[in-house]
Amino acid sequence: MIFLPSSHNKQAERVEEAGYLASASDLMIGLLFVFIIMVVMLSQRVDSIQRGESVNDPLASAVLIIGQKFKEAGLNVVIDPQSGVIGLPADALFGFNSAVLNDNSTQTLKKARESLIKILPCYVHSERAARPLDCPPNDEQAEIETIFIEGHTDSKPLQQGNYTNWHLGLDRARAVYEVLTEGKPQSYQNERKLDVFGISSYADKRVVKSFGLEDAEKSRRVELRFILAFKPDSKKGKAARDALDAASSSSAPLIQTAPIMPAATVTPGSNTKPIALPK
C-alpha cells in the first residue's frame, strides 16, 4: 500500500506561515507607530516649554531648552532629558583620532556659545542679578550646580605610544570647553562660588551598544551633563516644611523617653570599681 502526502497538511503549513508573517508585520507596524508617537510627544514637550508652559521635571525642562538652542545653532545633538545629557557626535567635530576641532565645528560651537550666554543666566546662581525677563518657567527655582563636558571614545586602542583613549577623551572635552566657555561663561559660578563648567574623560568605559554590540561611531562623542541644585524655598521645599510642621504640631507625643540615669565615674589611680547602675 502506498501512502501519498496529504494536501491538507501542506495547506495547513501555508496557513501557519502566512499567519506568522502577518504577526511579524503587525509587530513592526506597532513598533513604528510607538516610535512616531514618542517623537511627536518629545516635539510637543519642547514646544510647550518654549511657549512658557511648565513641566514637572526641571532638569528635563532645562536640558530640552538648552539642547534646542544647540540645534538652532547648527549642532547635531542628541538630547536625553531624563539623564540630563546633551551629546555631540565626535566625528562631526574632530578628525579620526584627533582632538583638534575642524573649522566648521569651531564656528558652530561659537554660535552655540552665544545661545548659552542667552539661556544659562536663567539657571546660574552668579547671574541672578542679571537674569533675563524672558526666562522659561522655573517653579522649583532650580539652578545649575555643574556642567560636566565629558569626552568618550570607542574601545579601539590608540597606536600613539603613551597617548591613550583617556588622553584623547580629555583633550576633546577640553577643546569643546575652550570654545563654549570663552569669555563670559568662564565666570559662571554656582551658589558655593565654584565654577559651573568642568571637563572629564571616560575613554572607552561608557561605550554605546546596539543589540549588545558596541556602536563605535556613537561611542565617539562629547557629552554635556547637567547637574541641578534645588532651592530650599521651592514648591517642593515648602511642601516638605508644611508636612514637618503638621507632624510636629500633633497633640500627643509619639515617643516617650526614659529618664537618663547619671553615669558612674572612676577616679584614675583609685581602687574603686565602677558600679553597674540599674536600667
Residues 143, 190: contact at Cβ < 8 Å? yes
Amino acid of residue 123: Y
Position 241 scores a pLDDT of: 55
Position 132 scores a pLDDT of: 83
Please enumerate in sequence order all residues whose Cβ is within 8 A of that of 90, keeping only pairs 6 or more positions apart, or say none: 151, 152, 153, 172, 220, 221, 222
Position 174 scores a pLDDT of: 98
Cα separation of 137 and 50, whole Å? 9
Cα separation of 163 and 160, whole Å? 5
For residue 21, give Cα distances in angstroms to 8, 25, 28: 20, 6, 11
User: Largest Cα–Cα distance of the chain, in whole Å?
Assistant: 115
3-state class of 265 per DSSP?
A: coil
Residues 126, 91: contact at Cβ < 8 Å? no
Residue 212 Ramachandran class (φ > 0 left, ψ -120 to 50 alpha, else beta)? left
Position 128 scores a pLDDT of: 85
Position 265 scores a pLDDT of: 42
Question: What values do phi and psi take at 89, rounded to 5?
Answer: -65, 125
Position 259 scores a pLDDT of: 45
Cα separation of 22 and 172, whole Å? 48
Q: Which three cell numbers stand for residue 76?
A: 547635531
Start-end of H helices in 133-198: 165-180
- Mean pLDDT of successive 10-residue stretches along the chain, which has 279 residues: 57 58 72 69 54 65 93 93 95 95 94 93 90 84 94 94 96 98 94 96 96 95 93 55 58 42 45 47
Chain Cα centroid distance, residue 31? 25
3-state class of 148 per DSSP?
A: strand
Q: Which three cell numbers stand for residue 85?
A: 545629557
**What's the DSSP call for residue 220?**
S
Cα separation of 180 and 90, whole Å? 15
